[in-house]
Structure 1
Amino acid sequence: MLNTSLSFKRPEADLSVLELLAVKYPNVDAAIAEVARLAAVQTLPKSAVHVISDIHGEDKKLQHVINNASGTLRPLVEEMFSERMDANEMAEFLKLTFYPAEVTERLRHTLKEPEDVKAYAARMLKSQLELLRHLVSNFSLRLASNLFPREYSELLLEMLHAPSTERGPEFVAAMLDELVRRGRALHLIHLLGRLIRNLAVDELIIGGDCWDRGPRGDRVVDYLRLQPNVEFIWGNHDALWLGASLGNEALICTVLRVSLRYRRIG
Structure 2
Amino acid sequence: MDDKKYYTLLKEKFPTKEHVATEIINLEAILQLPKGTEHFISDVHGEFLAFDHVLRNGSGSVKEKLRECFTTKQVDLNALAVLIYYPEQKLNQVKRQKKGNALHDWYQKNIILLVTATNHASKKYTRSKVRKALPPRFSYIIEELLTESHENQDKEHYLHAIIEKIISLGQADELIEDLAYTIQRLVVDHLHVVGDIYDRGPAPDAIMDRLIAYHSVDIQWGNHDIIWMAAMAGSKVALMNLLRISARYGNLDIIEERYGIALRPLVEYSRTHYTPQKKFAPKLAPTADISKLEKDTLNVVQQATAILQFKLEGQLIKRRPDFQLDKRRVLEHIDYETKAITLDGCTYPLVHFAAPTIDPNDPTALTKEETQLIEQLIQSVQQSERLKRHMDFLIEKGSMYLCYNDNLLIHGCIPLHENGDFKSLRINNTQYAGKALLDFFEQQVRISYRQPEVKEDLATDLLWYLWSGECSSLFGKTAMTTFERYYIKDPLAHIEHKNAYYNLRNDQRVCQDILQAFGLSKTGHIINGHTPVKEKDGENPIKANGQMLVIDGGFAKSYQKETGIAGYTLLSNSYGLQLAAHQPFSSIEEAVLYGTDIVSTKRLIETVDDRTTVKETNIGTALTLEMKDLEVLYAHYE
The TM-score with structure 1 as length reference comes to 0.86
How far apart are the structure 1 equivalents of 2:8 and 2:104?
52
Query: Structure 2 residue aligned with 1:230, among 205, 208, 217?
Result: 217
Structure 1 position 110, deviation (Å): 4.5
**C-alpha distance in 1, partners of 2:212/2:114?**
25
Question: Is the 8 Å Cα contact of residues 136 and 199 (structure 1) preserved in structure 2?
Answer: yes
The structure that is strand-richer by fraction is: 2
Please name the residue that 1:75 is paired with: 64
Q: Paired residue for 2:112, among 92, 108, 126? A: 126
1:65 Cα deviation after fit? 0.8
Match of 1:22 in 2: 11
Is 2:122 aligned against 1:136?
Answer: yes
Taking the aligned partners of 2:151 and 2:141, their CA distance within structure 1 comes to: 15
Deviation per residue, 1:154-196 (Å, 9 max, x gap): 1111111221783432212222222222221011111111100
Q: Does 1:50 align with 2:36?
A: no
Provide the secondary structure at the position in 2 that maps to 1:72: helix
1:204 aligns with 2:191: yes
Seq. identity, %: 27
Distance (Å, rounded) in 1 between the aligned partners of 2:13 and 2:57: 38
Q: Structure 1 164/36 Cα, relative in aligned 2: closer, same or farther at 3 Å?
A: farther
Output the CA distance in 1 between the equivalents of 2:59 and 2:77.
19
| Partner residue of 2:149 out of 163, 168, 174 | 163
Cα pair distance change 1:253/1:125, threshold 3 Å:
same
Give the whole-Å Cα distance in 2 for the aligned partners of 1:54 and 1:229. 19
Deviations 1:185-228 (A, max 9, x none): 01111111110010001111122211111111101101112211
Q: Quick check: 1:104–1:187 contact (8 Å CA) kept in 2?
A: no
2:78 and 2:44 map into 1 onto residues whose CA distance is 28
Counterpart residue number, 2:545: none
CA contact (8 A) 1:117 1:180 kept: no
Partner of 1:6: none
How far apart in 2 are the matches of 1:96 and 1:15?
A: 54
Equivalent residue letter for 1:260? A
Contact 2:202 2:251 in 1 (8 A): yes
Measured in 1, the distance between the counterparts of 2:232 and 2:103 equals 48
TM-score for the superposition, normalised by structure 2: 0.38
Of structures 1 and 2, the one with the larger relative CO (CA 8 A, separation 6+) is: 1
Measure, in 2, the Cα distance between the counterparts of 1:116 and 1:237: 51
- d(CA) in 2 for partners of 1:111 and 1:186? 14
Deviations for 1:56-75, whole angstroms, at most 9, x for unmatched residues?
11101110110111322212
Structure 1 vs Structure 2 CA RMSD: 2.1
Q: Give distance in 2, aligned partners of 1:17 and 1:230.
A: 30
Distance verdict in 2 for CA 1:123–1:261, change over 3 Å: same
Q: Please give the alpha-carbon distance, in whole angstroms, between the structure 2 residues aligned to 1:177 and 1:98.
A: 24
Q: Which amino acid aligns with 1:262?
A: Y
Moved more, 140-149 or 72-81: 72-81
Cα distance change on mapping 1:83 and 1:110 into 2, 3 Å: closer
Residues in 2 aligned to 1:202 and 1:237: alpha-carbon distance in whole angstroms: 27
The answer to whether the 8 Å contact 2:121/2:187 transfers is yes
What is the alpha-carbon distance in structure 1 between the residues aligned to residue 229 and residue 223 of structure 2? 10
- Aligned mate of 1:39, from 28, 32, 51: 28
Write the distance in 1 (CA, Å) between the matches of 2:92 and 2:178. 12
What is the letter of the counterpart of residue 193 of structure 1?
A
Q: Measured at CA, do residues 176 and 117 of structure 1 come closer, stay the same or move farther in structure 2, by a change above 3 Å?
A: farther
Aligned partner of 1:184 among 161, 165, 171: 171
Please identify, of 211-220 and 245-254, the stretch whose mean Cα deviation from structure 2 is larger: 245-254
What is the one-letter code of the residue matched to 2:126? Answer: S
Contact map agreement 1:209 1:235 (CA 8 A) in 2: yes
C-alpha contact (below 8 Å) 2:134/2:182 kept by paired residues: yes
CA positional deviation for 1:97: 1.9
For 2:189, what is the secondary structure of its paired residue? strand
In structure 2, which of residues 197, 202, 221 is the aligned counterpart of residue 215 of structure 1? 202
Which residue, out of 227, 230, 247, partners 1:240?
227
Amino acid at match of 1:58: E
Give 1 or 2: higher helix fraction: 1
**Structure-2 separation of matches of 1:237 and 1:147:** 33
Q: Give the stretch that moved more between structures: 249-258 or 164-173.
A: 164-173
CA distance in structure 1 between the partners assigned to 2:45 and 2:204 by the alignment: 7
Partner Cα separation in structure 1 for residue 171 and residue 71 of structure 2: 29
- Number of aligned positions between the proteins: 252
Gaps of at least 5 residues in structure 2 are: 253-293, 295-638
Query: Contact 1:203–1:229 (CA<8 Å) still a contact in 2?
Result: yes
Distance 1:169 1:216 in 2: 46
Q: Do the aligned residues in 1 keep the contact of 2:65 with 2:120 (CA within 8 Å)?
A: no
The AA in structure 2 aligned to 1:233 is Q
Equivalents in 1 of 2:231, 2:140: separation in Å? 47
